[in-house]
Amino acid sequence: MSNQVGEYFGSPADVELTRRAELLWSLLKNDARFGFFGRLIFLNDPGEQDAAVVAALAKTAGSGGAQFCRAEIADNFCHALTQQGLNASRYEQMWGTDGAIEASRQILQSVELPEDLTFIRLTGDTSPELVAGVGALSMTYGVMPVGGQALRGKSVRGVCLAAVDRGGEVISTASAHICNHATSRFATDAFWGKLATKEDRRGQRIGLWLGAKAIEIMVEDFGATGFFTGVKAENASSMKLCQRLGVLRSDYTIVASIDPTALGAASFTR
């Protein structure tokens, strides 16, 4: 059974991973090399030798990663991390810019949420029960949520959206956050996705609508111009959903690393 501490979610190891990353980010947030969306600290655009930096992040906070990591160095990068006794996972970095914005606008014009669902944007006023519902849904389907302050858009600039049925149950969720420093060349790119939908409601285009709505809000409210996420190469359904939203496979990868000695079986995402 998962254990919630305040507005953190998951096992004690998962909670520790998130809280330690938040604390380390308070020290690194003014360094334009790094990004943070509320869960892991990422090194941007690394060279192969920078695996040592990511290893230092993981050994300090229990987790760390690299984004905008060139695909041709990703396997060696992961190998260097495992040589340090760390778990390393490679994700294909899906990325969209103008095409994603246009695709999202078209989807929002042509697709509607089912009549029994209500769209909610989490804020500081959202009930703790609804925030917990988002966290629980995410974990059920293999997506570890960020802490409640990030879900509410308070500690990280961005949005978390939910589709809720008439009984108040969270049916689907999507998020996007501006995660990089204002002087970074990726300053207006948002880490997007974290999509999860109840299995018995899939096929109703709920996640598609929420994903498009998250892109629209990020453009209008935060000036986002690009949207990226990490997907396992074998995860065909997530790849397809990203492609429908104009978030396409790029020449980059995302590498996530966890220190198993500090955090046991904690995980990042599917």
Residue 223 belongs to domain with CATH number: 3.40.630.30
Say what the pLDDT of residue 263 is: 62
Is residue 190, in this structure, part of any structural domain at all?
A: yes
Give the strand pairing for 63-70 and 248-258.
antiparallel
The structure tokens listed for 192 are: 């997007």
The residues pairing with 158 across neighbouring beta strands, listed in sequence order, are: 177
Measured between alpha carbons, how far is 50 from 178 in angstroms, rounded to an integer? 23
**What does the buried/exposed string (b/e) look like for 144-155 if buried means 16 or more CB atoms within 10 Å of the residue's CB?**
bbbbbbbbbbeb
Say what the pLDDT of residue 77 is: 97
Residue-wise pLDDT tens digits, 125-149: 999 999 999 999 999 988 888 999 9
Is residue 5, in this structure, part of any structural domain at all?
A: no
**Percent of the chain at pLDDT exceeding 90:** 86
- Give me the residue label for tokens 């938040």: 22
Residue-wise pLDDT tens digits, 74-123: 999 999 999 999 999 999 999 999 999 999 999 999 999 999 999 999 99
How many independent structural domains does the chain possess?
1
Give the amino acid at 79: H
Q: Is pLDDT above 50 for 3?
A: no
Look up the domain containing 41 and give its range: 12-263
Measured between alpha carbons, how far is 221 from 224 in angstroms, rounded to an integer? 8
Mean pLDDT of the chain: 93
Is residue 239, in this structure, part of any structural domain at all?
A: yes
Is residue 56, in this structure, part of any structural domain at all?
A: yes
Is residue 237, in this structure, part of any structural domain at all?
A: yes
Is residue 3, in this structure, part of any structural domain at all?
A: no
Is residue 112, in this structure, part of any structural domain at all?
A: yes
Give the strand pairing for 170-178 and 226-231.
unpaired
Among 1-5, 97-101, 167-171, the range scoring the smallest mean pLDDT is 1-5
